[in-house]
Structure 1
């Protein structure tokens, strides 16, 4: 994850900074607070993202092996020693967040655990120069390679992770959950934005701070996840749709808007199946639209907020007429019944 330093809102995280009782005099308190605030956002997004992909797995034609872990590499930070202290790591790679009701939680893994090895292979020995990592900035290649290795190993069998906790090493077996594919990240930025690239859902830190509830947070995450599940990026690329400045006009704008409408429609089904209140999408966009008018998400490629709210109301009404199966609603856009 990209980490650009600035002080986030003064939220506090209940977990201790580390095994130390108080920060060393050389550590900067302001940076520690920013890191802990960022970790809180990571916790929220990791939990929401995992819950969405896990609950909707029966309707995804492709599956990915997931543990519910969010890993972090201190190499991503300018001040690595302060980052290690704030996150509670004793080494370079550690666990930042564990999603509730995930295999990682069942294995009793915890934020602050330091990752030492995967199936006896030390993290220092994992190759980071593969062609599939070439587009990753150098500080992020190691954690990307580790995530890739864990996912590949989980697809074959359970994985054993060797961790360090409180100065003691232990090897813990971790099972796999086959979920809808997608990963999630907080992107530290002063703008309010969210995006999906086909594999990753990214939410800016400033937007994440704006949500009043996890249901509102889930509304935006579900919208971006819907883009990934519906393979909109591949579809638009196949049609040579311009997603840059000129994509705001003409045929490209129409194609992008159609994808945005589909993502809005699917999002409330994904939310409902994961136990989130779909009405939160209406509350969020009403509040955002009234406060920011023609700001973010109001280009010609998106509905204006009032029409967007109307779309949600119509889709939620359609959901009300659907018959649940095993407590879930089959999303028409994923089951081909649309």
Structure 2
């Protein structure tokens, strides 16, 4: 059944928009609704874990951004928009998919299913999506990317008023952001098991997310990818002209990539501990995955094999155990903002 849901999700995000089809069905397909609900649950877990990691580690980041804990979604990305609205609870085009626990969005009593109508009285439909900075975004994602960018800019300047609709009733909600480490998070619908970091975004495939046994395991992988972004590894490798293609598996390029992977592994358990996740979950996850899949995910020449990775985690956990935490947190040695 899970495989069928993955394929349903792939169809939902890869099919042409509804306007390009003959027309919506009169009813709603149960399997599509189940797939959408499953994806929303993964989005909510990812949003909660990502927010918790960047919020808890804010004292140690040299750069910070204003954040609310909201995750927005555009129904235009789905082939069957009416079914998407029904499954996700939206009555408009842009809706709230997730609200991170203990975030400003939760304090403002926003909820998944709320429809976003305006930001500081600017209607969502009036936000320009033809900006050259959005040219790298796929067309169906440009509107929500433009909205997120406008929201980030507004939050950086002052408190924000969001106009939302719930149950057909509109209201304006003030929301006061908090400053956290930089970082964006998404579930990437895919039948493979993978996780990536591109310098700004942490992506975890839907199939890998389904593999985790707990949020602590989930956080172990997210924290590793977040560590890459916080340590600016992509910029570092680019400045070294490292080949990340086939030839990146060889010679100096492979070693330089492996060095960044080692750093990300070492930092990840500190990020986890500060956010209240059990760093031992990194040991448990990679032991389980290594035994089950051997040379599968993250095991190219640019990565240590699972036993060596587990050893790195245990070394860092031992370092924390020998320290006296301050307010329950440990200053990660690898972060430039740490004292």
Report the TM-score, using the length of structure 2 for normalisation: 0.92
Shift of 1:5: 6.5
Shift of 1:310: 0.7
Task: Structure 1 unaligned segments of length 5 or more: list them.
Answer: 9-23
| 1:214-293 alignment runs, 5 A limit | 214-293=215-294
CA–CA separation in structure 1 for the residues paired with 2:310 and 2:8: 33
Match of 1:60 in 2: 61
Shift of 1:124: 0.2
Map Cα deviations across residues 59-82 of structure 1 (whole Å, 9 max, x no partner).
001001110000000011111111
CA contact (8 A) 2:90 2:114 kept: yes
| 1:114-263 alignment runs, 5 A limit | 114-263=115-264
Map Cα deviations across residues 168-204 of structure 1 (whole Å, 9 max, x no partner).
0000001111000010000000000000001000000
CA contact (8 A) 1:50 1:99 kept: yes
Which segment is superposed worse, 272-281 or 75-84? 75-84
Match of 2:331 in 1: 330
CA–CA separation in structure 1 for the residues paired with 2:82 and 2:224: 37
CA–CA separation in structure 2 for the residues paired with 1:146 and 1:5: 28
CA contact (8 A) 1:64 1:180 kept: yes
Map Cα deviations across residues 33-63 of structure 1 (whole Å, 9 max, x no partner).
0000000000100000000000000000100
CA–CA separation in structure 1 for the residues paired with 2:82 and 2:90: 10
CA contact (8 A) 1:184 1:200 kept: yes
CA–CA separation in structure 1 for the residues paired with 2:93 and 2:338: 48
Match of 1:303 in 2: 304
Map Cα deviations across residues 115-141 of structure 1 (whole Å, 9 max, x no partner).
000000000000111111110011001
CA contact (8 A) 2:195 2:221 kept: yes
Shift of 1:245: 1.2
CA–CA separation in structure 2 for the residues paired with 1:313 and 1:260: 16
Shift of 1:27: 1.2
Shift of 1:6: 2.1
CA–CA separation in structure 1 for the residues paired with 2:240 and 2:324: 35
2:7 is paired with a residue whose SS is coil
Shift of 1:113: 0.2
Which segment is superposed worse, 108-117 or 312-321? 312-321
Q: How many residues align?
A: 320
- Do residues 98 (structure 1) and 99 (structure 2) align? yes
Which segment is superposed worse, 25-34 or 212-221? 25-34
CA–CA separation in structure 2 for the residues paired with 1:198 and 1:223: 13
Report the TM-score, using the length of structure 1 for normalisation: 0.93
Q: CA RMSD in A?
A: 1.4
Match of 1:21 in 2: none
Match of 2:318 in 1: 317
2:325 is paired with a residue whose SS is coil
Match of 1:86 in 2: 87
Shift of 1:325: 1.8
Task: Structure 2 unaligned segments of length 5 or more: list them.
Answer: 10-24
2:179 is paired with a residue whose SS is strand
Taking a change above 3 Å as real, the CA distance of residues 337 and 44 of structure 1, as seen in their structure-2 partners, is closer
Shift of 1:336: 7.2
Map Cα deviations across residues 245-304 of structure 1 (whole Å, 9 max, x no partner).
110110000000000000000000000000000000000000000000011111000000
CA–CA separation in structure 1 for the residues paired with 2:229 and 2:137: 20
